Amino acid sequence: MLDIYPLSFALLAFAASIPESKVYENSIGMKFTRIEPGSFIMGQEDGDFDERPVHKVNITKPFYMAVTEVTNQQYEEFNPDHKKLRGKRGFSKDDDEAVIFVNWHEAVDFCKWLGEKESLPYRLPTEAEWEYACRAGTQTPYNTGDEIPKMYHKHQEHEWDPVPVPLHVGKTKPNAWGLYDMHGNVEEWCHDWYGRYIDNEQTDPVGMISGTMKVTRGGSHNTTPEFLRSANRLGTLPEDKSWLIGFRVVLGEMPETKPLPPPDPKLWAVNVSQDAYKWTKGPDEPYFKGPVEYVKYPPDRENIPMYDHNHCPSITWCENGDLLAVWFSTIHERGRELTILASRLRQGNDEWDDPAEFFKAPDRNMTGSALYYDGKGKLYHFNGLEAGARWANLALTLQTSTDNGVTWSHPELICPEHQPRNQVISGTFRTKEGYLIQPCDAVYSGNGGTAIHISKDEGETWYDPGAGTPKPDFKTAKTGGTIAGIHAGVTQLKDGSLMAFGRGDNRLGSDDNIGERMPKSMSGDMGETWSYTASEFPPIDGGQRVVLMRLIEGPILFISFTDSSRNLDDPEGLVITDSSGEEKRVYGLFAALSFDEGQTWSVKKLITAGDVSKELDGGAWTRNFTMDATHAEPRGYMAATQSPDGMIHLISSRLYYKFNLAWLKAE
């Protein structure tokens, strides 16, 4: 995580003198106002956790800030090619609208170009300069008071799809220092890496020395008003761009303040062994252990941060013998607060570590994660990155680790467009050809299917083989480029074809005798097209997700639920037959094994600890349930990995199970 905006740029010698008048207009018509030195209280005590601790900041040197955000006309003097992005998603068509679809690097390059053109020190504002200028002497949530007047509103609501609004600059009343659009219109890039505040007075702060996300400020259209507050902090990857983010320019030398040191490592990165674990074959006899909680609730949850709703996990084994799990934590699944946490089960331990934050773009929804270890020294972490709230417009990110998950590469936007088909689903795998496959929901609703992303070069480049193909008609089982059912599990058969099972889209074909069954999708062209049939398995619904994977020993493992969430008040269960031929009806989480490439599923077994009745909390949508010989977890988002010793590690929304193939086959 290198600092890709070195302070040395700000220390260049400029031939022209910085103006001293109250206002200034430069050669391309940008107007600036002089911001005098002073002090202010940064943050908001009753705001978000990352706006605390509230602290005093001293700004010791004057600087000039552009009175509006950079417009299309101004930016396109630097980059004429940007004109082709005008009107994208319905936004910012006119010369005097705020420029959008500009990432942090491009904003910095514009400042450099302008600086070289005029021999003056143009740059992005520091986060502290931005808040100081926005407040303009106020200490209320907005520089307009406790609320933001309706005249400033530009569709201040969260929508699944953004509602186009005008982004013309300077059309509403400025703040007391003559700055327009500091609340809303578009977010504005700042110089700083995003990091937690420190608890002491600061002078001319410039943020952290390094980081993952760059700060944006001011909020935007198409979000609720609290994200427009003076103290509110947003941010994203410096490579990210969307219809929500533009920028504003500062004229003035960069403060020479020393950046803050990087934060202490998170618990999942502390004291991690780098010794390769000597895996040995596990027991031949049946083995089952659990379930135990891997999602724990420490007393000081704000500093993690951790919320009440924890869901959507992924798990992998590591070369050192540890297990690493990630999941999202949130108040509302659609919320901007949604973050990704991680926990580690260290080799030889029986209890998982307490959680700690793992991956987060501030005030952006992060729905969907996947972890995968390639068995050759590299861990992969895939994650969704929303433009704002909800999970309809996700970009797809990838970061990797070669030291058992202690440090990670700077996240890449392997699919940078904020769009459907990018909601990450746990279940990454490698094909026999060596391709990496990452499933992602193709839609944000409960029906509409799953896409896959493929890399043929060890994760360097990715493509979606089904993108742009005709949309399938699941009701008539018409072939298309999307798997039937969201949250699909996908695996490869020995003949090279792909097989998948998903949630929803379960009314397949026109034959009424088919009824509602879980859809099965098959592809013989590596995901370009899929064909659909009804499987033998019951459908699932909200709060439920399947696992589909090939085991080291050869058979295919399928894990799902006997009843849809809609039927839990009056479940039908599933009839299974034991080795003696006796039938019994079971309810909840079950496993099935296929020894003939998915043609039949000769083994079906309830995933339960046995005859002893246990009262358990499955977290998320599962909550409290009773586990006994015929009842297992009724729902949960499942994820699994198999370590080289043959052990299968299964997690739900809160619970961890460990078992082997011998246990699955035993009665």
* Residues 342 and 238 grouped into a single domain: no
Query: Which of residues 425, 447, 466 is at a domain's end?
Result: 425
- Number of other residues whose CB lies within 10 A of the CB of residue 666: 15
Q: Do 318 and 192 share a structural domain?
A: no
Supply the pLDDT for residue 471.
77
Check pLDDT > 80 for residue 470. Answer: no
| Residue 650 located in a structural domain | no
pLDDT in tens, 62-109: 999 999 999 999 999 999 999 999 999 999 999 999 999 999 999 999
DSSP E strands, 428-546? 429-430, 436-441, 450-455, 486-492, 498-503, 519-523, 531-534, 544-545
Q: Is residue 221 domain-shared with residue 298, that is, in the same domain?
A: no
Same domain, 236 and 316: no
Sequence-distant (6+) residues with CB within 8 A of 577 are: 583
At residue 552, the pLDDT reads 98
Tell me: do 304 and 356 sit in the same domain: yes
The answer to whether residues 227 and 314 belong to one domain is no
Question: Has residue 602 got a pLDDT over 50?
Answer: yes
Residue range of the domain that includes 247: 7-12+22-251
Structure tokens, 305:
């941060």
Structural domain includes residue 463: no
- What is the pLDDT, as a whole number, of residue 475? 77
Q: How many domains does the chain have?
A: 2
Q: For residues 209, 214, 215 and 220, what is the CA-based torsion angle, rounded to 10 degrees? A: 170
Domain-located, residue 546? no
Instruction: Report pLDDT digits (tens) over 507-551.
Output: 766 454 445 899 999 999 999 999 999 999 999 999 999 999 999
* Per-residue confidence (pLDDT) for residue 312, from 0 to 100: 98
Q: Which of 425, 453, 474 is the last residue before a domain boundary?
A: 425
pLDDT in tens, 216-232: 999 999 999 999 999 99
The H or E element containing residue 72 is helix 72-78
Among 425, 443, 462, where does a domain finish? 425
Task: Answer yes or no: is 95 within a domain.
Answer: yes
Instruction: Give a yes or no: residue 127 inside a domain.
Output: yes
- CA-closest candidate to residue 389, choices 620, 159, 91: 159
In this structure, the answer to whether residues 355 and 227 fall within a common structural domain is no
Residues 223 and 297 grouped into a single domain: no
Confidence of residue 2 (pLDDT cuts 50, 70, 90): very low
Tens of pLDDT along 263-276? 999 999 999 999 99
Q: What is the CATH number of the domain that holds 381?
A: 2.120.10.10
pLDDT given at position 387? 98
Do residues 295 and 243 share a domain? no
Lowest mean pLDDT among 280-289, 485-494, 577-586: 577-586
Range 206-221 average pLDDT? 98
Q: How confident is the model at residue 3 (pLDDT cuts 50, 70, 90)?
A: very low
Residues 212, 307, single domain; the answer is no
For residue 54, being part of any structural domain is answered with yes
- Domain of residue 26, CATH code: 3.90.1580.10
Q: What is the pTM of this model?
A: 0.96
Please check whether residue 44 lies inside any domain of the structure: yes
Stretch among 12-21, 99-108, 241-250, 461-470 having the lowest mean pLDDT? 12-21
| Residue 559 within any structural domain of the chain | no
DSSP string of 383-425, one letter each residue: EEEESSSSSSSEEEEEEEESSTTSS-PPPEEEEEEEESS-EE-
pLDDT in tens, 414-444: 999 999 999 999 999 999 999 999 999 999 9
Q: Verify that 359 and 298 share a domain, yes or no.
A: yes
Asked if residue 148 and residue 64 are part of one domain, the reply reads yes
